[in-house]
Amino acid sequence: MKQNGKASARVTVVMGAVLAALGAASHAQQDQRIEITGSSLRRIDGETAAPVQVFKREDIEEATDQVIWATDWGTEITPQRPQDAHFRGNIVEAMIAYAEGKLGEKTVDLKDVDRIIAIGSDRMMNGVREARHSSLKPYLKEHHVAIGSINSPMQCMMKEVCAQCLQRHVNPHTGEEFFVFSCFNQDQHLDFVDFKNLNDRLKANSIQEKLTNMWLDRTFGREEFKDRFGVVNA
């Protein structure tokens, strides 16, 4: 991707059960960044050959200069472009392998990345947060900015109305506690987010989501509901 006549680069990592993307801009740019995105895919019980589904592949390739497709399990994703590669392992392992030049030619040096954006499950984002201070630390710029796209439970999505999306933050420098409305600002500093609080809230919401899904399955007579509970007599 070219911007203002300067070359920029992105590295995208996709994992089997998790979709992850790394994006970075070269040091020739003012705003250098790396993006990590993810979404969970449901696996069918008893399935032997774990399938990997890739969504919006063309869009991802269109928006990036380099893609590292990483899968934890299942069939590997074959890169379509010469600069792209596949890695078997998790996001942090993929980033380390990339930084060490084990995935072919590097489009960008992670040491030049100013901004890291993680988008995915709370556990993946927390893993990236922690690794930046441990295993990833030798490969990253010392004063980079790390942002997570926080997936707090939401309800009204009307920015500061119902407060369902409140996310606890703790300033790592002062210990100050404060709360933010995730629907108002989903992009939050990784080091400030209380991921334990987020995980607890997501778990608490899980039973309600499952019941709602079951009700919708029943309402629409989905095969999945019939398989589990028999034919529905409305």
Residues that bind ligand FES (CB under 6 A): 154-158, 160-165, 181, 183
- Cβ atoms of 72 and 15 within 8 Å: the answer is yes
- In the complex, minimum distance from the CB of residue 167 to ligand FES, in angstroms, rounded to a whole number: 10
Question: Which of 156, 232 has the CB closer to ligand FES?
Answer: 156
**Cβ 78 to ligand FES, closest distance in Å?**
40
In the block, tokens 């060490």 appear at 100
13 close to 70: Cβ distance less than 8 angstroms: yes
Laid out side by side, the sheet with 11-13 consists of: 11-13, 66-71, 85-88
Q: Which is nearer to ligand FES, 158 or 232 (CB)?
A: 158
Exposure on the CB side of residue 155, measured as CA atoms within 13 A: 9
Taking the CB of residue 53, how many other CB atoms lie within 10 A of it? Answer: 11
Nearer of residues 157 and 211 to ligand FES, judged by Cβ? 157
Q: Given the complex with ligand FES, which of 98 and 181 has the nearer CB atom?
A: 181
User: Least CB distance from residue 205 to ligand FES, whole Å?
Assistant: 12
Query: b/e string for 183-192 if b means 16 or more Cβ within 10 A?
Result: beebebbbbb
Q: Provide the minimum distance between the beta carbon of 210 and ligand FES in the complex, in angstroms, as a whole number.
A: 20
For residue 128, give the H/E element and its range: helix 122-132
Cβ proximity to ligand FES, 162 vs 204, nearer residue: 162
User: CA 155, CA 182: separation in Å to the nearest integer?
Assistant: 11
Residue 155 vs 206, nearer CB to ligand FES:
155
Least distance to ligand FES from the beta carbon of 164, Å? 5
Name beta bridge partners: 36.
Answer: 118
- Return the residue nearest ligand FES (CB atom): 183
Q: The tokens 């792209």 sit on which residue?
A: 84
Least spacing, CB of residue 180 vs ligand FES, in Å: 10
Closest CB to ligand FES among 157 and 216? 157
Minimum distance, C-beta of residue 121 to ligand FES, in the bound complex (Å): 19
What's the distance, Cα to Cα, between the start and end of the chain in Å?
Answer: 54
Q: Let me know: does 116 contact 178? Beta carbons within 8 Å.
A: no
